[in-house]
């Protein structure tokens, strides 16, 4: 199954977190409490980690696709989907952002807990990709923004979390330039940063 580090809880659900997999934190829970999945929607969870957002989405969605660059995370998320009774509604793919998709399925909602920490060094371990945003903190964010439009239905939504350490305003402007209506709908403030939840609608 993988090497279990701990078990965490969200509401009545429980989740394994394997060694080498990002443990849900404030950014994850900011997204989780703002999930607005509607009955029958198709959802993509980019960078699924232990799978908490994909699993929460699956209770209402008709289908969820969960991807992660870390194969340990994919295995962990699949185990958690089975544990919480939604394995039949989620497909799992290992790869970078939209790279694992060989076509462009149209989603109603794309979720992304963006890696946003500015870092000079290249990732040394797979888990480092969960927070490694490149030198500017925006390298992964910019690649996501350049591709996501093509995978959403018109009227489809993005829910993404980003830190003030990697320029939230630049993301809002980039989304608007690409044809989204974007706004900050919730946030968490800490001593050294602000974590914002960005909602964008393809128009």
* Average pLDDT score, the chain: 90
pLDDT at 102: 79
Which domains does the chain show, CATH number per domain? Answer: 4-202 (3.40.50.150)
pLDDT at 198: 97
Nearest CA-CA partner of 56 in 26, 78, 35, 77: 35
pLDDT at 200: 98
Alpha-carbon distance of 202 to 107, in angstroms, equals 11
For 156-180, what is each residue's pLDDT tens digit? 999 999 988 889 999 999 999 999 9
Higher-confidence residue of 123 and 143: namely 143
For 82-141, what is each residue's pLDDT tens digit? 999 999 999 999 999 999 897 788 999 999 998 876 566 666 666 666 655 567 768 899
Q: Is 128 exposed, middle or buried (0-12, 13-18, 19+ CB in 10 A)?
A: middle
pLDDT at 1: 47
Output DSSP code: residue 191: S
What share of the chain in percent tops pLDDT 70?
A: 88
Q: How many other CB atoms sit within 10 Å of the CB of residue 106?
A: 11
pLDDT at 126: 65
pLDDT at 33 over 90: yes
pLDDT at 3 over 90: no
pLDDT at 166: 86
Alpha-carbon distance of 116 to 129, in angstroms, equals 10
């Amino acid at each position: 199954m993988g090497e279990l580090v701990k078990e965490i809880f969200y509401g009545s659900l429980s989740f394994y977190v394997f060694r080498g997999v990002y443990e849900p934190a404030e950014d994850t829970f900011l997204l989780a409490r703002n999930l607005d999945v509607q009955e029958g929607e198709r959802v993509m969870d980019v960078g699924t980690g232990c799978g908490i957002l994909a699993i929460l989405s699956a209770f209402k969605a008709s289908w969820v696709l969960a991807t992660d660059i870390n194969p340990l995370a994919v295995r962990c998320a699949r185990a958690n989907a089975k544990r919480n009774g939604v394995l039949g509604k989620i497909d799992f793919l290992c790869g970078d952002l939209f790279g694992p998709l060989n076509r462009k399925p149209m989603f109603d909602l794309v979720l992304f807990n963006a890696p946003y920490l500015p870092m000079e060094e290249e990732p040394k371990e797979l888990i480092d990709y969960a927070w490694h945003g490149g030198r500017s903190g925006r390298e992964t964010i910019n690649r996501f923004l350049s591709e996501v439009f093509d995978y959403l239905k018109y009227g489809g939504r993005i829910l993404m979390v980003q830190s003030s350490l990697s320029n939230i305003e630049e993301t809002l402007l980039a989304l608007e330039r690409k044809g989204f209506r974007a706004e900050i709908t919730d946030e968490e403030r800490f001593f050294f940063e602000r974590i914002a939840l960005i909602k964008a609608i393809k128009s």
